[in-house]
Structures are given as structure tokens and as C-alpha cells.
Structure 1
């Protein structure tokens, strides 16, 4: 598997960017570090509703000068013996050094009785969260919280990478699209729709070329069309060693140079990867768990590499809830697990066609080559999916 990552990391492509409104930026890849144009907050402000008073005020009954709502600016300077009612988020008036929260007081007309001292100042100071010129965000896949951060700094739009266009081809005479009636011996095509959904999350422009039967001429026609219209082409099925596995030959005849074929990973051993002057091509086995995992582990890695990022998937650590025993151990294996009662529980899993095993999965654990058994209680790392 390390050799696969080394090959993927050697691939390059021109990085092209565009500016998009914040409302269209979630899931896109930030092109460059963003610096804050302002202090955050831009002024000293109230952390809660209460009474703004001098820092050295000791009086228990104070005269109320005015009420300052969020978005307003007080006009009265705070003098000894006085205060102003202030709402959360409002700018601190001149002379104020602390805020007594409203629940520590009783209002009586134009005065307020302070019943309890407040150990906190309850002020968020100018630039406390971020100063002008600080790095707000580094390049990353933008998440909803990142959009909120950018909005808080006044950005209406953001520069993002134009992710590579990806084309999907599902191969197999036995396949039918969801919604069609199945004949004896046929199955539904899940790979095309699953891969589209995986790529859509990453903001990629996607094209789906439907199901192509196991016919060399039709396969070659569809492959060449997809190569002309996309940067990355994904195929499912037709890459193993069977009589109808035409894809490797068709790709090489189309000018795509093979960089590797067959990897020591389970599921996904038949994976084919190659490139030409403008395309990168993954030929995946047809089993749906294989295609899901291969996209998560290898295709995402390449997408981010081509967008200028290092793919850094999220992991959580936990104790294995029951033993894992393997009948074969010649490949690195990805196994679905769920997080339950602070333990990592292997999910009942029957192999690479058992797609619904992923329905309850928190993520995948990676069992290295030559490891025959992982015992209950051992620390394992779960790759979140």
C-alpha cells in the first residue's frame, strides 16, 4: 500500500482556482491561506446581558444612564455610581471596565441594586479571538464551520480550487440501473451511483456514462469519450483476470500508461491505475465494497494531491471489542467497525460484495499484512468514513 501512495504522490496537474460565494463554498477546497482583515471582535463587547460599570465600582445601588442594544453605541460615559444596561454583543461604553450579569441584580426604576458580585469581567476584548493579519484558515476542504468563520470576518466570497472533473463508467452486461426490472442473473448497478455520491461531496464536477456491457468495441468507445471530457476516469468491473475483463487492454490501446495493476489490499486487489498526458484512470473491481474503499483510500488521496493538499483522513482510537481472526494474511485488509460503548466492534462482514455491512459502520480499521489475529482489548485506530 505504501508503494501505491508513493506513485499517487508523484502525480501532478495544473491547479486552477475560482472565486465562489460563501453559500457555494462548502465542500470545496480552499486555494490559499486566508488572513483576517479585521480584529475579531472588532471592539470590546459584552459577553452577556448585564450592567456595564467602572472596573473599580464598589457601589451596590447604581444609576442607570442608558440601555445599549447589540449594534448600538452608547453615548454616555460611565462615571462612578452609574452604569448602563447592556445586551450581549454590544460595544462596551467609554469608562466601563466590567459587566455584572443581569441575574445578579434587581432593577428599581432608574436604578439597579447589585445583589452579588461577579468574579468575571464578562467582556470579550478587541482582537481576543483573532487579530488583523492572523491566518484565519489554511488550505482545506471547507466545512460549514469554516464558512461561518469566513462570514464572521466579512468575506462574501472565497477563492477555491476547481476540483478535477471525474467521469464514471460502470461495466458489466449483468447490470441494470435502479428502478428497472431485474431478469434472472442480473443485479443492480450500485457502483456508479455510490462513486458519484462520494465525488459530489468533494465538489468535483462529475459525469456519469451509465452502464457499458462487456463488449470491447462499446467499452473502447465509452472510455475514449470519458478520457476526452474528464481529468480522472473511474471504471468499475472488468479489471480482473477473467475472460471478459477487457479494461486493461482497452485503456492501454487508448494511450493510458499502466503504473500498477493488482495491489496487496483487501478488498480491492485487482485495482488498475494509469495515466496519459491529461488523464488519470482507476480501473476498479466490480464488488461494491471494493469500489467504496478504493475511492476513500486512493482516489480521494489523488484528488487532494491534484488540488494541492495532503489527504489527512480522520482517525479515532479505541479498544477492540472482540477478537479478529483472519484466514489469509497476505494483504493489508480494511474491515468495517462501529463505535459502541467506547469499544470498537467489528461488524458482521461477508466480503467485498456485502455492501450493506457499511450501513452501520463508523469507519474502517486497517489490519496490516502478516497479522493473523487482533485480540480483544488491543488498541486499534478507526478511519472514519
Structure 2
């Protein structure tokens, strides 16, 4: 089996879908690995590093020729995959709901497209979950970037000239990114509080030494979603939460928002009026900026000033940690393919009735086969 690793072409993308570590592991399984020239340059991996691991390095056309599987970070345009044989696997983050033309192109090319961001949140798929691995890094980087923009010290400092109070950090949304943000802010010495619509996260917040901020005694909370994701809240809960956040946010120095609802625009958590209540020099990092943002006035990929508050529209922060994010992403891909590897055939074999396969398979046999895509189109 020939595995091709392509160089990313999306603007600002720095990651690569394989590393020398995973190349060696694929070769140990019996695969041949070909890497497009300069594919790992932005992630501090040279062509010589890949060659030393046993991969061949060549131009894109040569790498794709005869490939049985193509590994990518972002799904490439179908037109850039000329020469790929029908039936080849395309494995990566394919953004199925927003890049419908590309998915159609994969189907027409006869590719079996597998969207790793749709990996089910089940125990045996944890090591394959690209969203979790990349969100972990994003949560860390959100605090680092927020601290840099804040321009004051984070920990309490007692000096001969007086005491500097610890920064107050408020994390809204306690998924993978939120938990890492809490842990990072605590390590930097900040006073940390956090909130979420899922009551189960209260203990997680406390376990990291942060203060949980939750709406109590309100009926109709609908925050417990499937697969660990949040769902929409009742109107009564939304009102109560807005009041609680308004009173709390005015006292904060750094706020990090992480709330996402799969397949829908990011929920609005912070209004312009709430921003105006914050003190001059405060910072808000919006990790949901690419999905429309949790913060009013947020712009993806930009820093915006409103009422003396800096709003950082964080856009795919894991890209800014290219070496580590590539290593984790590449391991996710290896863990997925190796879990289905058939030693006799020296290739992965995907049962049609497998929960993971059904969740991430988009196209097969020249058709779009994902029930989720069919549902979104109706």
C-alpha cells in the first residue's frame, strides 16, 4: 500500500499530516510512504528528516501517482488530486458542511473521503480525535496570547515597592480547550473561574483549582448534548446565564470563550454592553471566531479594540504551534488507520457497519454516502 502525504496549500496552514515518527510506524506495518517535497518545512521537518525515516520525497504528481491513501490536514481541491486512482482513501479534516463542492469533487473522482473531524466521541476513538488534540493546544495558546496582549503580570507579586494582584481569568465553555486554558492560566498564577452549560463540568473545573460559576435552580437546562458537546439552552437559562455573566465579567482581566455547537453558528456569549463593563486594558480571546464568534464585534484572525478591550479573534491557534500540532494530528491519523489495518492485505479494511467508519465516511464508489450530509442537505 502506498501512502501519500501532501503539502498543505490552505492560506496560513503550517501543519503537515505525517511526521518521521508516523512514517516509521506506517513502514513497519508494511506500507510505502511518499511525501511531497517541502511538506513539513513550516512544521520544522525537513525533506531529509522524512527520507531518514524511510519515506520517498518527490513532487506532488509523483507522490500521488498510484497512491492508495492520501493524508492531509485540510482537504485539498479535487482538481489538485489529478492522477489519483479511483478507490483511494483521502483522510484528513475535510470540512464537509462548508466545502460541499470539494466533497462532490471527491465523489466524482471515486475517492473514499474520510472526515476525521466527524470522529465519534467514543472511548475507542479517543486516540483518533483530531478535534481534541488540536483543541488542547488551542486552549493553551489562547492563554499565552491573551497574557501577551494583557500587558500586565499574571501571578500575584509581592515586592518592596508593593504588591501586584493576580490577574483574573474567566473561561467560558469547559471542553478540551477550556480545560487546558484553565490549567495553563492556573500555572501562570492567575485567579481562574469558569462556566459551562453542562453541570458535569463543575467537578472538572474544581479539580483544576478554579472556581465554577454556574446558574443554579433554573429549570429547562438543555446543555447536556450527545458525545460530550453542548446543545442549546432554554430561554430561561439563557436569561439567567446572561445576568450572571454580566455581573462576573466586569471584574475579569482576561476572558476566553470556547463555546461551539456542531453544525451551527457559535452561540453569542458576550454582548457589546458586557464588553463595555470591563476595565480598560482587559482582553477577550474568542476561540469560536471561525464559527462566527462568541463575542459581539469579534473578527476571525484579527485583534479588535472595543471600549478599551482587546478582542482576539483566534483562528485555528493550533497552526501557531506547528511542530506539536502536526505531531498530534499525525498520530491521530496513524492511530485511526492502524486500528483497521489488515495484516494479510497490508492495508486498512473498513467494515461498513462500524460506528467509526459510518461516522466519518463521506464518499465511496463515486457517491456521497454520509447520512449526515444527506440530512444537512434536506
Q: RCO higher in 1 or 2 (8 Å CA, sep ≥ 6)?
A: 2
Does the alignment reach a TM-score above 0.5? no
TM-score by length of 1: 0.26
Point out the structure with the larger helix share.
2
TM-score by length of 2: 0.27
